[in-house]
């Protein structure tokens, strides 16, 4: 998943990219399981993860965000896009399969089903999907990365998010750009994983767009942090408000092959453990 947090929407709506983190939360690691023919497996709990200081959590988040693109070779997921135009009472729902490849960087969508008004499909959802494709294939991830180069970052304290303690950071763009936003990110206090991003797009991508607000939630799957839900509201000059919600499920993630030297080091480590 690319490092950029914000997909620029050309006409109607917006979306956010993924960042790379590791699975977790304030959960215990699972130890070895003892098996027998007549008893269920029993997992031995390990030590709980310590809570990170705000500076360390942000540092780990930025590091893993920068590494995820290199570690993820490809992925696919089932995607549902719901769009509503409240002022005209038009709506539509598009179900698709999204497929990403890192080399070369490509993003594509396969239609599963659409229901609703054709105007919403053509002028809202299709343009939204095209903005994601353009972002992956044409944009520079470094230009929208969340770091001190692009943002002034201020720590705002801790907040529980779905029962998980998170560190909250206020973001203020250092320059106006459609790929940057003013708002907050919520980072897991135990793992440094991104849990939520919310705010307002720094600069409108089009004269017809007056304002874009969004909230996007993330989760950890197989060692990668991926978006699971997004809700955005766009205020346009002609059609009024456009509300877009996106849901992701059924992720299939394929890591990139480990470099040869890293594989040799891991093999040597395993052999040493067997010897001693």
Q: pLDDT (tens digit, 9 = 90+) per residue, 211-224?
A: 899 999 999 999 99
In this structure, what DSSP letter does residue 103 have? T
In this structure, what DSSP letter does residue 18 have? -
Top pLDDT among 15 and 99 is at 99
Q: Is the pLDDT of residue 266 over 60?
A: no
Is the four-CA dihedral 226, 228, 234, 240 of positive or negative sign? positive
CB 7 within 8 A of CB 17: yes
Residue 9 CB-half CA count within 13 A: 32
- Which of 11-20, 218-227, 251-260: highest mean pLDDT? 218-227
CB 77 within 8 A of CB 228: no
Please state, in angstroms and rounded to a whole number, the distance separating the CA atoms of residues 234 and 242.
5
Given the structure tokens 């109607």, which residue do they identify? Answer: 12
pLDDT band at residue 84 under the 50/70/90 scheme: very high
Supply angle C-alpha 185, 186, 190, rounded to 5. 140
pLDDT band at residue 208 under the 50/70/90 scheme: low
pLDDT of residue 125: 94
Q: Is the pLDDT of residue 107 over 90?
A: yes
Please report which residue ranges of the chain form alpha helices under DSSP H. Answer: 54-71, 118-120, 126-138, 141-144, 260-275
Please state, in angstroms and rounded to a whole number, the distance separating the CA atoms of residues 82 and 210.
21
Please state, in angstroms and rounded to a whole number, the distance separating the CA atoms of residues 250 and 14.
22
Q: Is the pLDDT of residue 189 over 80?
A: yes
Q: Is the pLDDT of residue 263 over 70?
A: no
Least confident of 106-110, 201-205, 234-238, 248-252: 201-205
pLDDT of residue 29: 28
The secondary structure element, H or E, covering residue 32 is: strand 28-34
Please state, in angstroms and rounded to a whole number, the distance separating the CA atoms of residues 108 and 78.
12
Q: Once rounded to an integer, what is the mean pLDDT over residues 4-33?
A: 35
pLDDT band at residue 4 under the 50/70/90 scheme: very low
pLDDT band at residue 204 under the 50/70/90 scheme: confident
Burial class of residue 239, CB neighbours in 10 A (0-12, 13-18, 19+): buried
SS3 20: coil
CA distances to 60, 92, 181, 265 from 136, in Å? 24, 25, 18, 33
Supply angle C-alpha 129, 130, 136, rounded to 5. 95
pLDDT band at residue 121 under the 50/70/90 scheme: very high
Please state, in angstroms and rounded to a whole number, the distance separating the CA atoms of residues 107 and 127.
14
Mean pLDDT of the chain: 80
CATH of 28-259, one of 3.40.50, 2.20.25, 2.60.40, 2.50.20: 2.50.20
pLDDT of residue 236: 84
pLDDT band at residue 36 under the 50/70/90 scheme: very low
CA distances to 2, 98, 209 from 235, in Å? 27, 27, 6
Please state, in angstroms and rounded to a whole number, the distance separating the CA atoms of residues 9 and 243.
13
Q: Once rounded to an integer, what is the mean pLDDT over residues 198-204?
A: 88
Q: Is the pLDDT of residue 200 over 90?
A: yes
pLDDT band at residue 10 under the 50/70/90 scheme: very low
**CA nearest 21: which of 205, 243, 256, 224?**
224
pLDDT band at residue 209 under the 50/70/90 scheme: confident
SS3 164: strand
- Which of 4-13, 120-129, 259-268: highest mean pLDDT? 120-129
């Amino acid at each position: 998943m690319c490092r950029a947090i914000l997909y620029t929407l050309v006409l109607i709506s917006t979306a956010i990219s993924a960042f790379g983190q590791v699975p977790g939360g304030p959960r215990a690691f699972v130890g070895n399981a003892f098996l027998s023919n007549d008893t269920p497996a029993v997992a031995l709990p390990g030590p709980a993860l310590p809570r990170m200081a705000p500076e360390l959590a942000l540092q780990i988040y930025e590091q893993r965000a920068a590494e995820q693109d290199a570690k993820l070779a490809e992925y696919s997921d089932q995607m549902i896009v719901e769009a509503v135009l409240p002022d005209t009472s038009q709506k539509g729902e598009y179900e698709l399969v999204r497929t990403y490849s890192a080399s070369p960087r490509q993003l594509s969508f396969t239609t599963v089903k659409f229901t609703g008004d054709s105007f919403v499909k053509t002028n809202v959802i299709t343009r939204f999907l095209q903005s994601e494709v353009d972002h992956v294939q044409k944009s520079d991830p470094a230009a929208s990365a969340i770091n001190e180069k692009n943002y002034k970052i201020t720590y705002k304290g801790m907040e529980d998010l779905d029962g998980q303690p998170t560190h909250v950071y206020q973001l203020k763009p250092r320059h106006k750009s459609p790929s940057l936003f003013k708002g907050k990110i919520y980072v897991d206090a135990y793992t440094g994983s991104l849990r939520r991003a919310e705010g307002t797009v720094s600069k409108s991508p089009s004269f017809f767009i007056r304002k874009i607000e969004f909230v996007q939630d993330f989760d950890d799957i197989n060692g990668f942090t991926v978006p699971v839900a997004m809700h955005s509201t766009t205020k346009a000059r002609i059609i009024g408000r456009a509300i877009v919600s996106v849901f992701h499920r059924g992720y299939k993630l394929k890591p990139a092959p480990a470099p040869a030297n890293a594989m040799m080091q891991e093999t040597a480590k395993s052999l040493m453990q067997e010897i001693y």
